[in-house]
Structure 1
Amino acid sequence: MRMLCSSTLIGEFFIIGFAALVAMKGDISLALLWSVSGVGMLLSLLLCGMLSRPAAVPVGWVLQIGLVLSGFVVPMMFFLGAVFAGLWWASIHYGRRIDEAKARWAALAAAENGGAPSGA
């Protein structure tokens, strides 16, 4: 799950930065724009390292909601935010399935080897 979620978050890092560049054409102050965008970008990077903690997934959902809501500033972000929210869901859903399958395969391999780690 960590690999899939991290990939989504890194993509969001770049999308937030590019959206901020597009939003510079608007009438929002640059200090506010880059403060909010910087927090979003920093949060996406920090979440990559915190994915093993239980609170990371709900905080990631908050980031997804913020990404969709940024569509009020850059209308294309309604679409991109929804796409990344879908990717976030898929990363969590399928990532957990992959983790469960890896755990089953590791248990099978350990049982076949008599409890010894594989490669020993």
Structure 2
Amino acid sequence: MDDPVSAQRASSVRRSLASIVLGFELIVVFLATLVIFGLSDLPAWVTLGGGALLCLIMVGTLGLLRYNWAYGVGWAVQVVMVATGFLNPAMFFVGALFAGMWTYCMITGSRIDRQNK
């Protein structure tokens, strides 16, 4: 039998939107890591290790979105994404786009979840 509480959590619009944004952002982080690796004077282990760490954090956050504190980690990921603009200036724009999408999805998803409750 399905647990009604877990069914309600699974159908959360906020959670669905957060997973969509983080999923697409994960692809962009992977590709941006390769670009920064190719264009930067940083050692390879710093660039590739930092990108891999950020990807792992994002994958972990995707799996933990059933907890409220995971959304705070999502906000921290957005800050890190904007800060990667110091390594490649184009990432200021990309990070700002994803931070804007994250903000919109958190506000809209929470509003819809409240209305559905």
TM-score range, shorter chain: 0.7 to 0.9
Is the Cα contact below 8 Å between 1:20 and 1:34 reproduced in 2? yes
C-alpha displacement at 1:88, in angstroms?
Answer: 0.8
Please say which structure displays the higher CA radius of gyration: 1
- Residue 58 of structure 1 corresponds to 72
Question: Quick one: which of 74, 82, 85 aligns to 1:68?
Answer: 82
Secondary structure of 1:24's aligned partner:
helix
| Structure 1 residue 27 corresponds to structure 2 residue 51 | no
User: Gapped runs of 5+ residues in structure 1?
Assistant: 104-120
> Counterpart of 1:47 in structure 2: which amino acid?
T
Alignment match, 1:12: 25
Q: CA RMSD in A?
A: 1.0
Q: What is the CA–CA distance in structure 2 between the aligned matches of 1:34 and 1:98, rounded to whole Å?
A: 38
TM-score, normalised with respect to structure 2: 0.83
CA distance in 1, matches of 2:107, 2:57: 21
Give the number of equivalent residue pairs.
Answer: 103
Match of 1:93 in 2: 107
Answer whether contact 2:37 2:48 (CA < 8 A) is retained. no
Per the alignment, in what secondary structure is the counterpart of residue 41 of structure 2? Answer: coil
Aligned residue type for 1:10: G
Task: Give the distance between the partners of 2:62 and 2:109, measured in 1 at CA.
Answer: 14
Matched residue, 1:83: 97
For structure 2, list consecutive stretches of 5 or more residues without a partner in the other structure. 1-13
Deviation at 1:74, TM superposition (A): 1.3
Q: Which moved more, 1:14-23 or 1:45-54?
A: 45-54
Deviation at 1:12, TM superposition (A): 1.1
CA contact (8 A) 1:12 1:41 kept: no
After TM superposition, the score normalised by the length of structure 1 is 0.81
Which structure is higher in RCO with an 8 Å CA cutoff and minimum separation 6?
2
Deviation at 1:13, TM superposition (A): 0.5
Query: What amino acid maps onto 2:25 in structure 1?
Result: E
**Aligned AA for 1:89?**
T
